[in-house]
Amino acid sequence: MDDIAKILSKALECDASDRILEAGTLYDKGLHHLKQLIAATKNTRIAKKYLEHMSQYKERSKNIQLSIKKLLEEGTVLQNISISQNSMGHSYESLFGQYLKSDIEEIYLEEPYLHRFYQYENLIVFFELAARKCPNLRFIKLITKRMENANILNDIRNDLRSRHIGLHTSIDEFLHDRKIALSNGVIIKIGRGLHFFKAARGEYALGQFDYDYRECLKTDVDIWTSAKTMGG
Amino acid sequence: MDDIAKILSKALECDASDRILEAGTLYDKGLHHLKQLIAATKNTRIAKKYLEHMSQYKERSKNIQLSIKKLLEEGTVLQNISISQNSMGHSYESLFGQYLKSDIEEIYLEEPYLHRFYQYENLIVFFELAARKCPNLRFIKLITKRMENANILNDIRNDLRSRHIGLHTSIDEFLHDRKIALSNGVIIKIGRGLHFFKAARGEYALGQFDYDYRECLKTDVDIWTSAKTMGG
């Protein structure tokens, strides 16, 4: 019970400070534990009390999901960029680095494809940029289609944890679209998601480290801002 | 003879526009060819004419070497930076990116150690930065101690050539010090040369691409500016 109390009090704390992605994740975790407790208890009075707690947290979790959904659907267009086939100079930093600012505490990322090695590399390049540009970043929620290399995601999670950034991953096998939502209300939608770079021209060529030197695949980038911030 | 004429006229052209690193390399190449011509000719009048040419270009090549030597020895200190063991945030860009400017046409680089793979990777990271920050960069002269992986340097040279940057490498088996001299007169001397980064914490960790996340080995960085520019 102590653990659940800790989880739910942390959830309330995050919720109060508008870190709703982390709050939502904690509510769900707490709810899962509460459910198990109810199944195990024989005291109906206590079980009833737990159930009351549950409905309260369920409600809050649902509200968070709704507010994310709303954020992802409404907004004013900031920028539409067309990346043409084989063009260069479109690193994540060049494309949307200007929107990654110090007021961002949470990032929501839908990226269905994370099973090839270069796809994890792209993820790292994105996280390197986000961590550098957003010194107050504390939580990243990543939704993907399947997780064949969970050990790689664990390595990345451990590294981020040491930098005081939580990474929570979940699976949605029907996920198709790609998007990045920042807690300050900016949403970045790239047709190909993070994976629109060709490999560098060779193992020893410019473009190994600086993605501005990589040729790109044709894709569209739409950036817009929601009237609402993620927690507001 | 046509080839020699082309080489030497290109040398004079580079020399006139203060691209002395490329000029020096071309003078030496032309001199080598002239020597072979003299050895092959039976006509003493022609041989004498070649010899006159030779002494003229030799003189010019020696002057260039002297002017580089002078540039590397004299100057006013711009910055002394001490990198402490295990500290981070010292990518080439963070350290000396501000000195890489659009007026730079040539870079002179003494880097004795280029045989391990990570050392070539560091070289690529440096070239990525230089090519990005110096749009008018046309020639890089690289001096190293031994060249075990000439094929890797060839790959890098080919890639740079496609970006209109010449790379000329030469061997000096007694080379020990490391330095970078920019044609605008700025000299960067790092105790450990390009190789003061530890590996990233893991294959899938921040620091794979952005060297600001890498822990460093203790070393000193001295940056100074010569009253003279490279060609002046």
Count contacts between A and B (CB, < 8 Å): 81
Categorize the per-residue pLDDT at B229 as very low, low, confident or very high, splitting at 50, 70 and 90: confident
Q: Which residue has the tokens 């270069």?
A: A118
Q: Give the minimum alpha-carbon distance from A29 to chain B in angstroms, rounded to a whole number.
A: 26
Name which of A115, A120, A123, A124 to mutate to probe chain B: the one with the most chain B Cβ atoms within 10 A of its Cβ.
A124
Instruction: Give me the count of residues in chain A.
Output: 232
Chain B residues within 8 A of A128 when measuring between CB atoms:
206-210, 213
pLDDT higher than threshold 70 for residue B186: yes
Length of chain B (residues): 232
CA distances from A181 to A41, A62, A120, A184 (A): 40, 18, 19, 8
Q: State the pLDDT confidence band at A1, using cuts at 50, 70 and 90.
A: low
Cβ <8 Å between B204 and A160: no
Q: Are residues B50 and B92 in the same domain?
A: no
Q: Does A208 contact B124 at a Cβ distance shorter than 8 Å?
A: yes
Q: Cα distance from A125 to chain B (closest Cα, Å)?
A: 6
Q: Residue B27 pLDDT > 80, yes or no?
A: yes
Please answer whether residues B195 and B219 qualify as being in contact, where contact means their C-beta atoms are separated by less than 8 angstroms. no
Taking contacts as CB-CB distances below 8 angstroms, the residues of chain B near A135 are: none
Boundary of a domain, candidates A47, A71, A95:
A71
pLDDT tens for each residue of A104-138: 999 999 999 999 999 999 999 999 999 999 999 99
Q: Residue B179 falls within a domain, yes or no?
A: yes
| Phi, psi (degrees; rounded to nearest 5) at B91 | -60, 160
Residues B44 and B114 in one domain: no
* Burial group, residue A189, by CB count within 10 angstroms (0-12, 13-18, 19+): middle
Query: What's the mean per-residue pLDDT of chain A?
Result: 92
Residue A203: list chain B partners with CB under 8 A: 155
- Chain A residues close to B159, C-beta within 8 Å: 201-202, 204-206
Q: Among A178, A55, A203, A158, which Cα is nearest to B123's? A: A203
In A108-205, alpha helices (H): 117-133, 150-162
- How far apart CA B186 and CA B99 sit, in angstroms, is 7
Measure in Å the smallest separation between the Cα of A160 and chain B Cα atoms.
8
Task: Write out the H or E segment, with its range, that includes residue A12.
Answer: helix A2-16
Which residue of chain B is at minimal alpha-carbon distance from A127? B206
Residues B47 and B82 both lie in one domain: no
Q: How far is CA B114 from CA A124, B110, B190, in A?
A: 27, 11, 15
Query: Would you state the pLDDT for residue A147?
Result: 83
Let me know if residue B208 belongs to a domain: yes
Nearest CA-CA partner of B128 in B93, B167, B166: B93
Specify whether A29 is located in the same domain as A85. Answer: no
> Which candidate from A163, A203, A206 shows the least CB-CB separation from B128?
A206
Q: How far is CA B174 from the centre of its chain?
A: 17
- B172 contacts: CB under 8 Å, gap ≥ 6: B110, B143, B144, B145
Using CA coordinates, name the residue in chain A closest to B128.
A206
Encode pLDDT of A86-110 as tens digits. 999 999 999 999 999 999 999 999 9
- CATH code: domain of residue A150: 3.30.870.30
pLDDT tier for residue B68 given thresholds of 50, 70 and 90: confident
Instruction: Establish if B232 belongs to a structural domain.
Output: no
Contact B160 A206 (CB under 8 A): yes
Same domain? B67 vs B181: no
Q: Are residues B213 and B151 in the same domain?
A: yes
Amino acid at B226: S
Q: How confident is the model at residue A46 (pLDDT cuts 50, 70, 90)?
A: confident
Each residue of B73-94: pLDDT tens digit?
A: 878 889 999 999 999 999 999 9
SS3 A78: strand
φ and ψ at A188, to 5 degrees?
Answer: -120, 120
The answer to the question of residue A43 being in a domain is yes
Query: How many other CB atoms are found less than 10 A from the CB of residue A227?
Result: 11
At residue B193, φ and ψ (nearest 5 deg) are: 65, -145
Q: Which of B125, B163, B210 sits opposite A128 (nearest CB)?
A: B210
- The answer to whether residue A232 sits within a structural domain is no
Question: Pseudo-torsion of CA B18, B19, B21, B25, nearest 10°?
Answer: -110
Say yes or no: B86 and B158 in one domain.
yes
B207, A129: Cβ pair inside 8 Å?
A: no
Whether the per-residue pLDDT at A50 is higher than 90: the answer is no
Residue that wins the pLDDT comparison between B227 and A167: A167
Judge whether A141 lies within some domain. Answer: yes
Contacts of B88 in chain A (CB under 8 A): none
Q: What is the DSSP string of chain B?
A: -HHHHHHHHHHHHHHHTT-HHHHHHHHHHHHHHHHHHHHH---HHHHHHHHHHHHHHHHHHHHHHHHHHHHHH--EEEEEEEEPTT-----HHHHHGGG--TT--EEEEE-----SHHHHHHHHHHHHHHHHH-TT--EEEEEES--TTHHHHHHHHHHHHHTT-EEEEEE-TT----EEEETTSEEEEETTTT--BPPPSSTTSTTSS-GGGS-B--EEEEEEE-SS-S--
Question: Could you tell me the end-to-end alpha-carbon distance of chain A, in angstroms, rounded to an integer?
Answer: 31
SS3 A227: coil
Using CA atoms, how far apart are residues B181 and B100, in angstroms rounded to an integer?
11
Residue A189, H or E segment: strand A186-190
Residues of chain A contacting B, Cβ within 8 Å: 120-121, 124-125, 127-129, 131-132, 152, 155-156, 159-160, 162-163, 201-213
Listed residues B71, B93, B123: the one ending a domain: B71
Report the alpha-carbon distance of residue A165 to residue A159 in Å, rounded: 9
CB-based contact B131 A211, cutoff 8 Å: no
What is the share, in percent, of chain A residues with pLDDT greater than 90?
A: 74
If asked whether residues B12 and B113 sit together in one domain, one would say: no
pLDDT digits (tens, 9 = 90+) for A163-175: 999 999 999 999 9
Predicted ipTM?
0.84
Q: Is residue A230 part of a domain?
A: no
Mean pLDDT throughout B59-65?
A: 92
Which among A119, A117, A118, A125 has a CA at the least distance from the CA of A144? A119
pLDDT for the residue A149:
86
Verify that B129 and B61 share a domain, yes or no.
no
What are the tens digits of pLDDT across the range B96-116?
A: 999 999 999 999 999 999 999
Predicted local distance difference test score (pLDDT) of residue A68: 86
Average pLDDT over residues B209-217: 96
Q: Which CATH number covers residue A25?
A: 1.20.58.80
Q: How confident is the model over B126-155, as pLDDT tens digits?
A: 999 999 999 999 999 999 998 888 899 999
**A62 has pLDDT over 80:** yes
B chain contacts of residue A133, beta-carbon cutoff 8 Å = none
Model pLDDT, residue B192: 95
Indicate if A113 and A38 belong to the same structural domain.
Answer: no
Structural contact between residues B143 and B109, judged by C-beta atoms closer than 8 angstroms: yes
Q: Say what the pLDDT of residue B232 is.
A: 63
Look at A90-99, A143-152, A202-211, B65-74 and tell me which has the smallest mean pLDDT: B65-74
Alpha helices for A134-184 (secondary structure H): 150-162
The total number of structural domains in chain B stands at: 2
Determine the structural domain holding residue A52 and report its residue range.
1-71
**Do the Cβ atoms of B132 and A212 come within 8 Å?**
yes
pLDDT of residue B75: 83
- The answer to whether residues A145 and A216 belong to one domain is yes
With an 8 Å Cβ cutoff, are B159 and A206 in contact? yes
- Asked if A124 and A162 sit in the same domain, the reply is yes
Is residue B32 in some structural domain? yes
Last residue of a domain, one of A21, A47, A71: A71
- For a pLDDT cut of 70, what percent of chain A falls above it? 98
